[in-house]
Structure 1
Amino acid sequence: MADSSPSPLPVPAHAAPRTGEARASAAPWLLAGPALLLFCGLLLVPLLLTAVLSFHAFDGTQGVLPIFTLSNYVEVLSDGYYHEIFLRTAGMALAVTLLCVLLGVPETIILARMKSPWRSIFLIVILGPLLISVVVRTLGWAILLGNNGLLNDALQTLGITSEPIKLVFTMTGVIIGLTHVLVPFMVISVWATLQKLDLQVENAARSLGAPSFSVFRRVVLPQLLPGVLSGSIIVFALAASAFATPALLGGRRLKVAATAAYDEFLNTLNWPLGATIAMLLLIANIAIILGCNRWIERRFRAVFEG
């Protein structure tokens, strides 16, 4: 008896390649899936919960209330006290970023010109602060910058000053401490760019009679610009959100956004207001970084192309 079952339909010739293409296009997502889930779980979900918390109402006797309101954002955006805190935070982060650029870029260029083994030794010295806890580093600066610290004792011994200079619990001390903490990040960013720098191009410019400053401005600096920009973004973001150094060297009165949010969370227990300060700090940080990045790129492009 003959088999009456229908014969299978012929498979088009182009079906197999499409299946292979689909698998190839899905491979990156499958490989990045675990890291993406970890990123969402450790960063995006807490940020989302903080954003939701910032819209809750708060009562001094009942705590966080299940009522959604914009009163926290209105309070922060309309109060001059918080305006001063955010302006102080932005000024501190900008000053630290400028100092890191002025110190880190020449330092990295000199480091790249060194020979072994001095290059490795000085690179370890520069990156050494990253191996020490930020609290320990900050306490060390508090001892150095104190009224009876090593710096003031040296200045008075040399006759430069007749009395101690107040550096602890001032913005100057905070900027010094943060610059020491964050310079290695600038060095790392510029160092990664310097590894791609072609020294033959620089030597060719010198052989054609170009002055050293012109070689640096028109040959070296354009190639270093991506590293400087990325390092500036990292330093600015870390300085604006820093907590330990401003808290220890700045004290309770010299508040920045991070210490203000900390006080609202743990001292007054006003979690929604603390979450509001944290979210506004994040939004301002992102806006300033993106705006400055585009402006600097446009300015440098106009200078070098002109």
Structure 2
Amino acid sequence: MSEMTLESRMAGRSRPSVRSRSLAWIPFWLTGPAAVFFLVLLGMPLLMTLVLSFYTFDYTAGISETLTLSNYTDVLFDGYFHEIFLRTYEISLITTLCCVVLGAPEAYIIYRMRRPWRSICLLITLGPLLISVVVRTLGWVLLIGGNGLLSQFMQALGLAGTRGFSLMYTQTGVVIAMVHVLVPFMVISVWASLRKVDLSTGDAALSLGAKPFTVLRRVIFPQVLPGVLSGSLIIFALTASYFATPSIIGGRRLKVVATSVYDEYLSTMNWPLGASISIVLLVLNVVIVMSYSRWVERRFRRTLGEG
């Protein structure tokens, strides 16, 4: 009798109780409303854009629900769009590299400051995030425009002619404005990595005779590399799809993908072509981001000796 009771107890323990099964569904019930909200606000517009990209367009009849692949063939095989995509990713790459060169040392210098200067400099660095991107970009127009402060300064030095000096509608001007807009994201990412770094390792290396640059390159930088890589990923993805700064600084002379989509939707009214450009940009960004993330993950596993 006791053996049967023991077996029944063991069988009862091996079976999951009704309460445990109900508790297993709690995470799904908690995340369900947020997932539905996300799918409705993001998934549905993307799905509608994808469907729209297969519609046909005629300048006399407008948009027709006849399905076609001509929009994608135009985007993928037309040299005009090739130039726009190459320019977009060239600006993204240059902006990302400039943000790494400026943002990573800036974050380290600010982190090594004493209070209250560290808080003041960090607030000055991150303060522009509190201002609209459009306002900051218009500020750069006043600086680098034909009648801007930079032009007046160069004219005073005799470095510019009577026509002045302008970086408007140039790739250099777009990169400068984009770096100013996005470099705080690099500072934030590197700052988060520095919070986990034991800076006494750098002091120990200095005490052993290492030069300051060697300490930065061999001791500090490998420890903050995750922050640099994550920050560069964020900046590259944002730059590739940015609209406000390239449209104001670059104008119609220097088109990028975002401004091309804007023109197709509101100027030529060719919504299917604009939708196809958007989908191609989204797919390329996802492929680049996923490949970059895999490469970073593989590199860190190799560094940690995990194969």
Fold shared per TM-score above 0.5: yes
Instruction: Tell me if structure 2 keeps the 8 A contact 1:96–1:175.
Output: yes
Query: How far off is 1:25 after superposition?
Result: 3.1
Aligned to 2:98: 99
Pair 22,170 (structure 1): closer, same or farther in 2 beyond 3 Å? same
Aligned to 1:59: 58
Query: How far off is 1:39 after superposition?
Result: 1.7
Aligned to 1:127: 126
Query: How far off is 1:113 after superposition?
Result: 0.6
Aligned to 1:275: 275
Query: How far off is 1:302 after superposition?
Result: 7.0
Pair 210,140 (structure 1): closer, same or farther in 2 beyond 3 Å? same
Establish whether residue 140 from structure 1 lines up as the match of residue 178 from structure 2. no
Pair 156,35 (structure 1): closer, same or farther in 2 beyond 3 Å? same
Instruction: Tell me if structure 1 keeps the 8 A contact 2:150–2:165.
Output: no
Report Cα offsets for 1:4-57 as digits up to 9, x if no partner: xxxxx9995227754344344323222222222222122122111111111111
Work out the CA distance in 2 between the residues paired with 1:288 and 1:103: 23
Instruction: Tell me if structure 1 keeps the 8 A contact 2:265–2:274.
Output: yes
- 2:217 aligned partner, one-letter code: R
- 2:229 aligned partner, one-letter code: L
- 2:184 aligned partner, one-letter code: P
Alignment of 1:1-306 (within 5 A): 13-14=12-13, 17-162=16-161, 164-295=164-295
Report Cα offsets for 1:64-90 as digits up to 9, x if no partner: 211111110001111110000000101
Query: How far off is 1:158 after superposition?
Result: 3.0
In the superposition, the TM-score normalised over structure 2's length comes to 0.89
Superposed CA RMSD: 2.4
Aligned to 1:3: none
Work out the CA distance in 1 between the residues paired with 2:37 and 2:189: 25
Pair 150,34 (structure 1): closer, same or farther in 2 beyond 3 Å? same
2:63 partner SS = strand
Query: How far off is 1:228 after superposition?
Result: 0.8
Pair 248,210 (structure 1): closer, same or farther in 2 beyond 3 Å? same
Work out the CA distance in 2 between the residues paired with 1:11 and 1:296: 48
Query: How far off is 1:148 after superposition?
Result: 1.4
In the superposition, the TM-score normalised over structure 1's length comes to 0.89
Stretches of structure 2 lacking an aligned partner (at least 5 in a row)? 1-7
Query: How far off is 1:236 after superposition?
Result: 0.7
Pair 299,10 (structure 1): closer, same or farther in 2 beyond 3 Å? closer
1:176 partner SS = helix
Query: How far off is 1:195 after superposition?
Result: 1.0
Work out the CA distance in 1 between the residues paired with 2:26 and 2:225: 34
Instruction: Tell me if structure 2 keeps the 8 A contact 1:218–1:304.
Output: no
- 2:167 aligned partner, one-letter code: L
Pair 208,25 (structure 1): closer, same or farther in 2 beyond 3 Å? farther
Work out the CA distance in 1 between the residues paired with 2:104 and 2:258: 28
Work out the CA distance in 1 between the residues paired with 2:296 and 2:12: 53
Work out the CA distance in 2 between the residues paired with 1:211 and 1:27: 55
Work out the CA distance in 1 between the residues paired with 2:215 and 2:129: 33
Work out the CA distance in 1 between the residues paired with 2:40 and 2:223: 37
Query: How far off is 1:162 after superposition?
Result: 4.2
Pair 155,301 (structure 1): closer, same or farther in 2 beyond 3 Å? farther
Pair 291,165 (structure 1): closer, same or farther in 2 beyond 3 Å? farther
Instruction: Tell me if structure 2 keeps the 8 A contact 1:145–1:168.
Output: yes
Pair 96,304 (structure 1): closer, same or farther in 2 beyond 3 Å? farther
Aligned to 1:5: none
Work out the CA distance in 2 between the residues paired with 1:204 and 1:18: 56
Work out the CA distance in 2 between the residues paired with 1:198 and 1:28: 36
Stretches of structure 1 lacking an aligned partner (at least 5 in a row)? 1-8
Instruction: Tell me if structure 2 keeps the 8 A contact 1:111–1:122.
Output: yes
